[in-house]
Amino acid sequence: MKGTMTLTLLMLALMLAGCKSGHMTEQQRFERSILKELPFSIDSVRWLTSGDLPTIKFANAGYTDVAPDAEIRPDGDYWVCNMFDSEPPAHQAEENIWRNVLVSCKNQRVVCVDRYLRQGRTVGYCYVLQSERKEYPTYGTFHWDVSDSRNVEMVGVMLDDLKQLALKRHQLNNAGLVSPASQDDYWKMMFHADSLFDTRLYDEARQVYDLAFSEDRYILPSQLSQAASKMTSIGDNQAALAYLRHRVAMEKDFYEDPLMTSYTELTDTFEQRSQQWHYDLELKKTLEGIFERDQYDRLLWSQAVKNNPGDTERNDGLARRALMTDSLNLVLVSNILSQYGFPSRELVGDFGNQAVWLVFQHASLDYQKRFLPQLEAAVSRGDIAPLYLAMLRDRIDVREGRPQRYGTQIDKKGNLAPLLDASRVNQWRQEVGLPVLEQYGD
């Protein structure tokens, strides 16, 4: 009787184990099969959003001393271990990456494991090159057998590409990024996040976007929508919704077409706002894009010159890009002025309204003088604040060799350009809504 009961309990346990396994998702089964192949155990696992390869981030509570197949050094040098009787490194250094490459002919896949040493702990990434198989249809990203020796050259090229990703991730982890403390910091983070996204380091890009957006006072709101659009494109709807909610909180008049938005969580908010404000959303979005491109390309160029003055080839390329953006924006805004006249705040909101002025602020002198009467009329109607007219007048005066009235322009040496009347400059500035210049105060 006792033996029968023991057998029954054993069968029940096996059946429950089978049921548990049968209810595992494809991702869980895939993850389990990969972890079985690793030469060491790991404590925590997180799947990353990846453009090309299934990618797992892992961590261990302590140091993992399993010998690597190769060591990647900070300069990109690739030292292959265990070849020609060479001794593998005895201990991993924080500046180096340890790599193991695992080939499974049975599963027709190659797993690339890159390990980093962080304060005595091992962290790293598993990149999975999985051939198309019925067991894992979602993760079979290659229509050829990556484990076949005839394809070793192609796999080698892919592993070399992963080396660049490994180094970029290493640099990011060593950067010690913190919340922006200035507008300059914000733009540096945005450029960095966009670069990470373009390199398909999507999770790292989101980390940097999150940091850049942690200080509202530096944010260009349309960039929250741009970042949301990028997250949507890779299926990270949670991040996209978070960025849109952030913009909703920042801008009391921001909304999307409630009938067209992809985010039902915001439909009610957008519906209420659309009844309060009656923007031309397409025109508003176009002008905000113009504003963003103007700032982005110009500041990317100035940052590059500041940080790497000797890289003339890249700096010249960014300068040409900024000038091309200026030309394109000028054509777009000129067409808008012809079609709509000067767009009021009631039509396009503050940033859209200011984009028109910003484009002409960076245009040639002839275009600025041609635009001046339209801006004067817009100010008289209350369509834009008078301080924008003051800045454009100053810029025209300085470019034509006359002293400026409002003190908004600096010369090529970074000093304040000559003033029309230093004793009255702060009075004139206050009349148009500009802050006082302290050096000319009472």
Cα separation of 313 and 146, whole Å?
Answer: 39
118's enclosing H/E stretch is strand 109-118
How far apart, in Å, are the Cα atoms of 388 and each of 103, 360, 408, 433, 434?
A: 64, 11, 10, 10, 10
Pick the closest to residue 55 from 27, 97, 76 (CA basis). 27
50 pLDDT band, cuts 50/70/90, is low
The better pLDDT of the pair 151, 51 is held by 151
Q: Are 15 and 26 in contact (CB under 8 A)?
A: no
The better pLDDT of the pair 12, 54 is held by 54
Q: Is the pTM of this model over 0.85?
A: no
* DSSP assigned state of 404: B
Place of tokens 């453009």: 51
Helix 312-340 vs helix 345-361: crossing angle, to nearest 10: 140
Q: What mean pLDDT is reported for the chain? A: 88
Per domain, the residue ranges of the chain are 21-173, 183-276, 280-361, 385-442
Sheet strand arrangement including 97-104: 44-48, 55-59, 121-130, 109-118, 97-104, 70-72, 78-80
pLDDT tens sequence across 325-374: 999 999 999 999 999 899 998 999 988 989 999 999 999 999 999 999 99
Assigned CATH class of 183-276: mainly alpha
177 pLDDT band, cuts 50/70/90, is confident
Q: Are 261 and 285 in contact (CB under 8 A)?
A: no
* DSSP assigned state of 179: -
The better pLDDT of the pair 332, 20 is held by 332
| DSSP assignment string, 42-93 | -SEEEEE--SSS-EEEEE-SS---PPPSEEE-TT--EEE-SSTTPPPPSS--
* The total number of residues written for the chain in this structure: 442
